[in-house]
Amino acid sequence: MSTYSTDIDKKWQKKWEDTELYKFNMDRLDKKLYCLEMFSYPSGAKLHVGHWYNYGPTDSWARMKRMQGYEIFQPMGFDAFGLPAENYAIKTGIHPQDSTLNNIETMERQLKEMGAMFDWDHEVKTCMPDYYKWTQWVFLTLYKAGLAYRKEAPVNWCPSCNTVLANEQVQDGSCERCGTEVTRKNLTQWFLRITNYADELLEKLDTIDWPEKTKAMQRNWIGRSTGAELTFSIADSNLTFNVFTTRPDTLFGVTYVVLAPENELVDKITTAEYKKAVEEYQDAARKQSEIERLSTTKEKTGVFTGAYAINPINGEKVPVWTADYILNTYGTGCVMAVPGHDERDFEFAEKFNLPIIRVVKGAEGNDDLPFVEYGVSVNSGEFSGLATEDAKKGIVEKLADHNKGALKVNYRLRDWLVSRQRYWGAPIPMIHCDKCGVVPVPEEDLPVLLPYNVEFAPDGKSPLAKSEEFMNTTCPHCGGPAKRDPDTLDTFVCSSFYFLRYPDNKNSDKIFDKDLVNKMLPVDKYVGGAEHACMHLLYARFVTKALRDLGYLDFDEPFLSLVHQGTILGPDGNKMSKSRGNVVSPDDYISKFGSDVFRLYLMFGFAYIEGGAWSDEGIKAIDRFLDRIERLTARVGEIKTSGTVGKNEKDLKYAINYAVKGVTEDADKFQFNTAIARMMELLNAMYKYDSDTEDKNAEIFKEGLTTLLKCLAPFAPHFTEEMWEKLGMNYSVFNESWPAFDPSALIKDVVELGIQINGKIRSKVEVPSDMPEEQIKETVLADEKITVMFEGKSVKKIIVVKGRLVNIVIG
């Protein structure tokens, strides 16, 4: 075992703090690098392996960048509002504020023990009034800009927990907490107009360095779809309705139309004969979630309304149905059904015996229906014979002439529902006055404080609604009695701007100083879990763009470069969770080995981006690695000779430069495991040099060790500081420049190649190591000592095995 331990951790943590090593230096703004890790969610009482895996390696990357000359800003904070603390309170009676602040205290201590370069002066905790004042301010600012509005909308409702659930709290149609089937319910809610930014959110994805998969998920979520809106009319009435279609070319193939059960047209057109069946169907549909309704495995259901619609292109009369596979929240909630060319319509038509006709033909021999691809129009009047793209254009143009059609772009993205009927969140800063309606809380009255004494049993009402003290207020407009909004904001509102607040976290006049934020942002490197792809990462982009348009900042994208760490699973291969009992606590490892061994192990034992199942098999080997470095450090003082530069020295120089190149390039790509392997190779080369070399060159030996220590410093910060001090070097190793590598030392001048003739090694040649293959062949075949060996025979084949041998087949 090395002498490294948690005592050494503490020694250097204190020194770093005393010397303010991580304080951001405003005079070096031109070199700023904002390295951000997703802030911690203090729901569990402790820091777990997942936090460590996110923060430890990223901190190592930032430390390397520091040594490369950047001025690092790496803040940390807590995403402290949210459901888990409240549910915990319901279960245990411990107030969410108490449990949360307690957890934060523990986690702060643990984060400090980790030894990361967090600048604690810039910490934020979203549950504190000095922070949520600005959460409320963001909401008000968006409201004043017309980007927040209130409307009645169907929401996910758990009838057992009696509460609204966010979409992400619905798992396979059931409540994630109690497993009860989730239903739909109409409630008046606040929304943020993220859809105003749909196009920019989509387009600017091309300008940022994010994992392709995450960009694809955002693209899908935004779901831009280009098509047309076409106008049908109801037979024997003056009612009309629009359908959204991506395939106007199939208009001649419409054999019925379908309305979503909630569509307001349904009640207007349903005939007396079908009224009862339709109403029953509507009731059943209301209880289902969108996910269920869109399920492709579910058997199609629906009912006829008794009404008929007129196809605008040919005047044909088709029946109007209502069916739950049509969502009222997408497009117009009305669809022209083309069973010949759409799978869902095909299934539906088969089940209800509706006609199926072909209006698009594919290549010869492809006669099956439904045929969903592009081809050539058939049975389509004057448009027959046109390619799909041309038929689309022609049909929309013709209808446009009669005001019955227009091109249209649709988005899957919906406005962001931010009301929560929950206690543990930022109160929505709105007041309801009988006379004046909805009135925003004046900015100077922020924050609207969250009261401590509230009953938060889940009974379907917002807990705040039961607090008279909270609810009763005066209208800022007329001065009369009024009520506060009883809901709190989705916690994703809190996290949608925390990275903007960090640089100026103590500002009590403004959310942040514009100049400062323009200099400190965008974030240069953001590291966190991939599960946030379509929530936090989308909301943060939206809020940044909205604040930009309102003049509060000058950049478009908050996070220029994004990395997702992989997930560390339990030894059983499942996600770590308390209920499974497969959670690994970092604390035990840290007290036994020290934080650097744990960090190095996480970085060496897993491919960072991939993660994997936990096993501590290799952790002792990491400890031995440090021990060998420690022994080598002691050797430096013992070697006093100054041997010349011979082959061994050249080999060592090569190893040094090879390691520096590898560590620099790999760590930059977050490939820490291979970076550490390079350091291990250098260590071996050092030992080899020490044992193989009679007349050692002390200078080169020391260069090898100091280079190794500089490379290791970001990965094992406490241990390396200790070794650096032992060597008698100046504090701190983190003020050293990152080693550069000398490409010329990486050219091995010559290599020796074995010459194999018909499978047997017969000779050797020396060639320059960078000689191209063709030239090696020529050289070998021109070498007399070799050619004599196959005189009279001819060369059938010659193969060069790079850097090792040349294989010649003769016969």
**Residues in contact with ligand ANZ, shown as a per-residue x/- string from 340 to 359 under the rule CB under 6 A:** -xx-----------------
Contact range with ligand ANZ by CB under 6 A, out of 120-128, 324-332, 627-635, 747-755: 324-332
Residue identified by tokens 């005189």 is 791
Contact range with Zn ion by CB under 5 A, out of 123-131, 340-348, 434-442, 448-456: 434-442
**Residues in contact with ligand ANZ, shown as a per-residue x/- string from 392 to 431 under the rule CB under 6 A:** ------------------x---------------------
Contact range with ligand ANZ by CB under 6 A, out of 323-331, 435-443, 474-482, 546-554: 323-331
Say whether residue 511 binds Zn ion (CB under 5 A). no
Contact range with ligand ANZ by CB under 6 A, out of 330-338, 588-596, 610-618, 771-779: 330-338
Say whether residue 438 binds Zn ion (CB under 5 A). no
Q: With respect to Zn ion, which residue has the nearer C-beta, 437 or 637?
A: 437
Out of 331, 594, 611, 739, the residue judged to bind ligand ANZ by CB under 6 A: 331
Q: With respect to Zn ion, which residue has the nearer C-beta, 150 or 477?
A: 477
Shortest Å distance, C-beta 334 to ligand ANZ:
7
Q: With respect to ligand ANZ, which residue has the nearer C-beta, 95 or 341?
A: 341
How many residues touch Zn ion under the rule CB under 5 A: the total is: 6
Residue 578, annotated as binding a ligand: yes
How crowded is the C-beta side of 304, counted as CA atoms within 13 Å? 13
Say whether residue 436 binds Zn ion (CB under 5 A). yes
> Residue 228 pairs with which residues in a beta bridge?
245, 407
Q: With respect to Zn ion, which residue has the nearer C-beta, 435 or 510?
A: 435
Spatial CA neighbour of 545 closest among 193, 197, 143: 197
Q: With respect to ligand ANZ, which residue has the nearer C-beta, 108 or 262?
A: 262
**In sequence order, which ranges of 318-387 are alpha helices (DSSP H)?**
343-351
Q: What are phi and psi of 23, to 5 degrees?
A: -70, 130
When CB distances are held under 5 to 8 angstroms depending on the partner's kind, the choice from Zn ion, ligand ANZ, none that residue 475 binds is Zn ion
Distance (Å) of CA 412 to CA 5, 155, 219, 258, 534: 54, 17, 10, 19, 12
- DSSP character string of 536-598: HHHHHHHHHHHHHHTTS---S-SBSBEE---EEEPTTSSBP-TTTT-PPPHHHHHHHH-HHHH
Out of 250, 421, 496, 633, the residue judged to bind ligand ANZ by CB under 6 A: 250
Strands 430-433 and 437-440, by their bridges, are antiparallel
Shortest Å distance, C-beta 412 to ligand ANZ:
7
Q: With respect to Zn ion, which residue has the nearer C-beta, 395 or 448?
A: 448
Shortest Å distance, C-beta 360 to ligand ANZ:
8
Residue 148 CA, distance from chain mean position: 25
When CB distances are held under 5 to 8 angstroms depending on the partner's kind, the choice from Zn ion, ligand ANZ, none that residue 326 binds is ligand ANZ
3-state secondary structure of 750: strand
Query: Which two tokens mark 292?
Result: 């269920």
Out of 47, 257, 475, 553, the residue judged to bind Zn ion by CB under 5 A: 475
Contact range with ligand ANZ by CB under 6 A, out of 337-345, 395-403, 547-555, 715-723: 337-345
Shortest Å distance, C-beta 440 to Zn ion:
12
Shortest Å distance, C-beta 150 to Zn ion:
16
**Residues in contact with ligand ANZ, shown as a per-residue x/- string from 201 to 230 under the rule CB under 6 A:** ------------------------x-----
Say whether residue 442 binds Zn ion (CB under 5 A). no
Out of 330, 498, 606, 724, the residue judged to bind ligand ANZ by CB under 6 A: 330
* CA torsion angle 221 224 225 226 (round to 10): 180
Spatial CA neighbour of 33 closest among 521, 733, 669: 521
Say whether residue 289 binds ligand ANZ (CB under 6 A). no
115 Rama class: left (phi>0) / alpha (psi -120 to 50) / beta = left
- DSSP character string of 653-685: HHHHHHHHHHHHHHHHTT-HHHHHHHHHHHHHH
Out of 478, 634, 740, 761, the residue judged to bind Zn ion by CB under 5 A: 478
Q: Which residues have C-beta within 8 Å of that of residue 677, sequence separation ≥ 6?
A: 604
Instruction: Catalogue the E-assigned strands of 71-197.
Output: 71-73, 148-158, 163-165, 170-171, 174-175, 183-192
When CB distances are held under 5 to 8 angstroms depending on the partner's kind, the choice from Zn ion, ligand ANZ, none that residue 786 binds is none
When CB distances are held under 5 to 8 angstroms depending on the partner's kind, the choice from Zn ion, ligand ANZ, none that residue 435 binds is Zn ion
What stretch of H or E contains 245?
Answer: strand 240-245
Q: What is the CA radius of gyration of the chain?
A: 34
Say whether residue 246 binds ligand ANZ (CB under 6 A). yes
- The 416-417 sheet, strands edge to edge: 163-165, 148-158, 183-192, 416-417
Contact range with Zn ion by CB under 5 A, out of 49-57, 123-131, 429-437, 585-593: 429-437
Q: Could you report how far apart the first and last alpha carbons of the chain are, in Å? A: 60
When CB distances are held under 5 to 8 angstroms depending on the partner's kind, the choice from Zn ion, ligand ANZ, none that residue 436 binds is Zn ion
Q: Which residues have C-beta within 8 Å of that of residue 745, sequence separation ≥ 6?
A: 653, 654, 656, 657
Say whether residue 433 binds Zn ion (CB under 5 A). yes
Query: Which two tokens mark 639?
Result: 């070697």
Out of 95, 125, 247, 484, the residue judged to bind ligand ANZ by CB under 6 A: 247
Distance CA 54, CA 605 (A): 14
Distance CA 224, CA 108 (A): 43
Residue identified by tokens 């990361």 is 116
Query: Which two tokens mark 655?
Result: 């190893």
Contact range with Zn ion by CB under 5 A, out of 275-283, 433-441, 639-647, 684-692: 433-441
Distance CA 392, CA 247 (A): 7
Distance CA 542, CA 688 (A): 57
Return residues touching ligand ANZ (CB under 6 A). Answer: 225, 244-247, 250, 326-327, 330-331, 333, 335-336, 338, 341-342, 410
User: Which positions make up the binding site for ATP?
Assistant: 578
User: Which positions make up the binding site?
Assistant: 578
Return residues touching Zn ion (CB under 5 A). Answer: 433, 435-436, 475, 477-478
